[in-house]
Amino acid sequence: MKYQKTGFFLFVGIVLGLTGCKREHVQEGIPVVVGKVGLQNVEIFGEYVGRIRALQFVEIRARVEGYLEKMLFEEGKHVNRNQPLFVINPALYKARVDKAAAQLKKDEALELKTGRDVKRLRPLYEQNAASQLDLDNAIAAYESAKANVAMSKADLAQAQLELGYTTVRSPVSGYISERYADIGTLVGPGAKSLLATVVASDTVLVDFNLTALDYLRSQQRNVTLGEQDTSRSWQPSVTVTLADNSVYPEKGLVDFAEPQVDPKTGTFGVRAALPNPGRKLLPGQFTKVKLLLDVRENAVVVPAKAIAIEKGGAHVYVMRRDSTAEKRLIETGPEFGNFVVVERGLGEGEMIVTEGYHKLNPGVLLKPEMVEENKEK
């Protein structure tokens, strides 16, 4: 009986001991940092190297021959459209205008005389007092006089036009270069006609090249570069950097794209126009171009650090409602900053592990610490 009692108490003791061990080894969750999956409008950019050029670059040339008499501008300053810049000696052209005007008066007088001759001979011819030949000669003389008047008017107009060309004006508003010809120089049409240049740079153009792959991707997104689509809430805008690598505050829009790919480079040219009120962008300089290619509206976004890449693909750990870990395969999309767009595999509001996933296995209990991620644009 003693042996049996001892055995009974020993058994009870073992059971109680095991029960105590269970209580002492209650499973604790693995500490991790989690975050909630959210939706965001994601801007997709492409980065390129571009070159700035002026909207207009105009060469000021002499259109008539003569000696330069005056320069009417300050080099490097702003000039307005139609502003006089140079004066070429006009004496020869004034004389031509006077001569053409005198010839016109002479021809007009002859036109009046021959017209009166026709009016006088026509009734005489009807009364058989003048011959058909006399009337025909009078009509021919009148028609010839009218033609001479028309030619003289054209000669006078040409002479006046050439006289006007002796004052060289700016065809556009912009900033003028130094003069390329000194006062007293003989200038004229041809190689010796360049006097200065005017650059209109209140608006500038930036030229850059896209790859054929970029073009294909833009077409897949129904984005036609060089055309504005009013049905979209955004347009393919461009930002550039200044010489100090700071971002230029004004944005531009793509207004032209080459219709074909350059076979030598495999790229095609794109042009954007940017306002340049402070002349911070100088024609000829190179710049970094950032082109908005697409806006993914209401995209699922997660921190890049939450994604693990293995042979089977990309995955994240999702925290279930019972605080256990689920390994979830996902399909990733574009990256922006420290975040990644998730194309498939996650939904809005799900909780994912953002830090500490490397020590997890599917099904383990989690001890979450909630951290709000700042999504970058």
**Contact between 188 and 66 (Cβ < 8 Å):** yes
Rounded-to-integer distance, Cα 18 and Cα 27, Å: 16
What is the CB neighbour count within 10 angstroms for residue 367? Answer: 12
What's the pTM value of the predicted model, to 2 decimals?
A: 0.64
The domain segmentation of the chain, as residue ranges, is: 30-43+298-370, 90-165
pLDDT in tens, 22-65: 444 455 789 999 999 989 888 888 889 999 999 999 999 999 99
Give the angle 106-108-110 at the CA atoms, nearest 5°. 70
CATH fold for domain 90-165? Helix Hairpins (1.10.287)
Provide DSSP, 136-148. HHHHHHHHHHHHH
Token reading at 223? 């984005």
Predicted pLDDT at 376: 52
pLDDT in tens, 162-189: 999 999 999 999 999 999 999 999 999 8
CATH fold for domain 30-43+298-370? 2.40.420
Intra-chain end-to-end CA distance of the chain, in Å:
82
Say yes or no to pLDDT of 4 above 70. Answer: no
pLDDT in tens, 315-354: 999 999 999 999 999 999 888 888 999 999 999 999 999 9
Mean pLDDT of 70-77: 94
What does pLDDT average to over the chain? 85
